[in-house]
Amino acid sequence: MRSNKLSIIVLMYFEHPAGLLYIESILKNGFDLKCIIAQRNPKMNTVIQNRYSEKMGECFKFKTMSDILDGKFIPTYFVKDQSSKKCVNLIKKISPDLIILGGAGIVKYNILRLPKIGTINSHPGLIPIYRGCTNVEWALYNNGPVGATCHFVTEEIDWGDIIIQKEMDIKSKTYYQIRQQIDFLCAEVLIESIKILSKGDFRLILKIPSKTNSKYWDPIPDDKLEEVKNRIY
């Protein structure tokens, strides 16, 4: 059996809201967060913040890395490219059990293969039905299930063996409430997944699902998004 102190690296765009929530949850649960590797990209940060503001509503409050760490010292390294040789060498030096993607964009195989156990991602959609972009919105538009999946990451987007998957109860919730709560559900399945991997019981992991019902969704068009918001306001 493995020690329950798996060594973890979080890979993220700097101050990505989902990544910050994952870091906060990892620290609260006493896991061994070795370091944070963050890509600084001011243009992407602006895009991410604008997207979150649109989806979460005006009341959403952005946190900073300082808010989350709250005086704790966690080594944080900045890279221009998350698939760069510098990033590869840094990860090799730390030699983690797990890499967790916390709003990191597309990460290449030269990074994914480095951790001893693997790289995992918490996705705001139920794989394989909802892969890709704006899965919460598409699920609501289709009157389908909203949920989160924590899975091993492969070279194919939103694909890989499933560790934990949970559906959200959306009854009596507004669009903005659903949107705000999905990140917390993603954090919840992430923490449960780390606990499973810490115990070394890989029998609980579901193999890659059949592609029969798989679909990759592009970003939902503005008119359909407005329909979702009006219907579930």
Q: Give a yes or no: residue 109 inside a domain.
A: yes
* 121-172 pLDDT per residue, tens: 999 999 999 999 999 999 999 999 999 999 999 888 888 899 999 999 999 8
Structurally, the chain folds into a number of domains equal to 1
Mean pLDDT computed over every residue of the chain: 89
Q: What is the pLDDT of residue 124?
A: 95
Q: Which of 134, 176, 131 is nearest to 149 (CA)?
A: 131
Q: What is the pLDDT of residue 209?
A: 62
Q: Is the pTM of this model over 0.85?
A: yes
11, 89, 107, 130, 184 from 37: Cα distances, Å: 5, 12, 13, 28, 22
pLDDT category at 1 given cuts 50, 70, 90 is: very low
Q: Give a yes or no: residue 1 inside a domain.
A: no
Strand order in the sheet with 98-101: 76-79, 32-39, 7-13, 98-101, 118-123, 147-152, 162-167
Q: Give the C-alpha separation, 129 to 145, whole Å.
A: 9
Q: Give a yes or no: residue 86 inside a domain.
A: yes
pLDDT category at 71 given cuts 50, 70, 90 is: confident
Q: What is the pLDDT of residue 155?
A: 86
Q: Give a yes or no: residue 152 inside a domain.
A: yes
Q: What is the pLDDT of residue 219?
A: 93
Q: Give a yes or no: residue 2 inside a domain.
A: no
Q: Give a yes or no: residue 203 inside a domain.
A: yes
Q: What is the pLDDT of residue 233?
A: 67
Region 180-186 average pLDDT: 94
227 pLDDT higher than 90: yes
Q: What is the pLDDT of residue 204?
A: 64
Range of the domain at 184: 7-231
Q: Give a yes or no: residue 110 inside a domain.
A: yes
Residue 204 belongs to domain with CATH number: 3.40.50.170
Q: What is the pLDDT of residue 125?
A: 95
**Which residues of 168-217 form beta strands (DSSP E)?**
216-217
* 3-43 pLDDT per residue, tens: 458 999 999 999 899 999 999 999 999 999 999 999 987 78
182 pLDDT higher than 50: yes
pLDDT category at 105 given cuts 50, 70, 90 is: confident
Report phi then psi at 19, rounded to 5. Answer: -60, -40
Q: Which of 8-22, 64-78, 203-217 is the least confident region?
A: 203-217
2 pLDDT higher than 60: no
Q: What is the pLDDT of residue 208?
A: 66
Q: Give a yes or no: residue 174 inside a domain.
A: yes
**Which residues of the chain form beta strands (DSSP E)?**
7-13, 32-39, 76-79, 98-101, 118-123, 131-132, 147-152, 162-167, 216-217
